[in-house]
Amino acid sequence: MKDPAYEAGLAVRRRVLGEAHVKRSLENTTAFDEDFQDLITRHAWGDIWTRPGLDYRTRSLITIALLAASGRNDELNLHLRATRNTGATADDVKEVLLQVAVYVGVPAANSAFRIAKSAFEEMAKEGSR
């Protein structure tokens, strides 16, 4: 059993990203990246996402803005898909990406809009099954 921060982080990680994603991540963990998986579960999810100051929707939107601004497109796609669990809407994401366009730059927002559009289209198709 891991410490309480890890366990709390794992619960939030599962709630936000979904059980299937987290299960895959943990099953694919090797000796090489085990410490990294522990670090992100404990610190990102356990220390930050469990704090009482912001709700999941707000944290989700901040994360999306930061990922779009820094060009971390794989993680951006993951967190766009997680909006189905955080309460952030497509309109919320649109507003955040417009902020990114002005404060970070049009190329970053352009890439993020393309990724968001694709992610929301895929989620809509998945929801109609």
Query: For the segment 36-85, what is each residue's pLDDT rounded down to a tens digit?
Result: 999 999 999 999 999 999 999 999 999 999 999 999 999 999 999 999 99
Q: Look at residues 117, 22, 121 and name the one whose alpha carbon lies nearest to residue 76.
A: 117
Q: What does the mean pLDDT of the chain come to?
A: 95
Q: How far apart are CA 57 and CA 107, in angstroms?
A: 25
Last residue of a domain, one of 13, 34, 53: 53
Burial 87-121 (b: 16+ CB within 10 A, else e): ebeeebbeebbeebbeebeeebbebbbebbeebbe
- 58 & 14 share domain: no
Q: How far apart are CA 39 and CA 44, in angstroms?
A: 8
Q: Look at residues 42, 40, 36 and name the one whose alpha carbon lies nearest to residue 7.
A: 42
- 44 & 58 share domain: no
Strands (E), 34-97: none
Q: Which residue has the tokens 């929707």?
A: 57
* Statement: residue 1 has pLDDT above 70: no
pLDDT band at residue 128 using 50, 70 and 90 as cut-offs: low
- 116 & 79 share domain: yes
Mean pLDDT of the region 3-17:
95
User: What's the domain range around 35?
Assistant: 1-53
